[in-house]
């Protein structure tokens, strides 16, 4: 009986190790794949999801239509889950759009130059709370220009 438990535990640990290795290699492959990197200088602290990000220069890796990686000053970074957004006419310049409520900023959209398709963030719980507490105020939209970086 003891050998059966040991054997089962060993098999489970081995399966977990393979799964972790597979996920790590998949993430690495996505990060090295056909992503586009753009830069933005964001002069204010902001929130994306549950993460608070400081003001500064950010590398924004557009990994896929559903995932963006933000890398900012110091060790601030985070993955952002997004969904597609579309406009009728392609933008001439890339922009990153924030919703502002008073002195709080929330990442809203990312648009690259020459594309009709952008990426849009789901409203975070903190942003929803502001909307509810202030009886759905319309946010002020703040747009910041993106600088295209090297294609990956």
For every residue of the chain, DSSP letters joined together read -HHHHHHHHHHHHHHHHHHHHHHHHHHHHHHHSS-EEEEEEE-S-EEETTEEE-SEEEEEEEEETTEEEEE-STT-EEEEEEEEEE-SS--SS-EEEEEEETTEEEEEEEE-TT-SEEEEEPPPHHHHHHHHHTTSPPPEEEEEE-EEEEE-
pLDDT in tens, 52-93: 999 999 999 999 889 999 999 988 888 899 999 998 888 889
The partner residues of 143 in beta bridges, in order of sequence, read: 97
Structure token digits, residue 132: 């509810």
Least confident of 14-23, 42-51, 80-89, 92-101: 14-23
Half-sphere exposure of 67 (CA within 13 A, CB side): 11
The pLDDT-based confidence of 111 (bands split at 50, 70, 90) is very high
pTM equals 0.72
The pLDDT-based confidence of 45 (bands split at 50, 70, 90) is very high
pLDDT in tens, 82-103: 999 998 888 889 999 999 999 9
What are the boundaries of each domain within the chain? 1-32, 34-151
Residue pointed to by tokens 């993460």? 51
């Amino acid at each position: 009986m003891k050998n059966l438990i040991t054997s089962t535990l060993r098999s489970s640990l081995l399966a977990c190790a393979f799964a972790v290795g597979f996920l790590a290699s998949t993430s690495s492959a996505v990060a090295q794949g056909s992503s586009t990197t753009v830069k933005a200088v964001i002069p204010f602290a902001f929130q994306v999801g549950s993460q608070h990000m400081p003001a500064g220069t950010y590398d924004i890796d557009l990994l896929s239509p559903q995932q963006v990686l933000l890398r900012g000053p110091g060790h601030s970074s985070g993955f952002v889950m997004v969904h597609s957004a579309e406009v009728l006419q392609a933008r001439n310049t890339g922009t990153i759009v924030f919703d502002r409520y008073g002195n709080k900023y929330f990442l809203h959209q990312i648009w690259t130059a020459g594309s009709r398709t952008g990426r849009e963030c789901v409203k975070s719980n903190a942003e929803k709370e502001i909307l509810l507490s202030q009886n759905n105020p319309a946010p002020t939209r703040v747009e910041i220009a993106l600088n295209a970086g090297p294609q990956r």
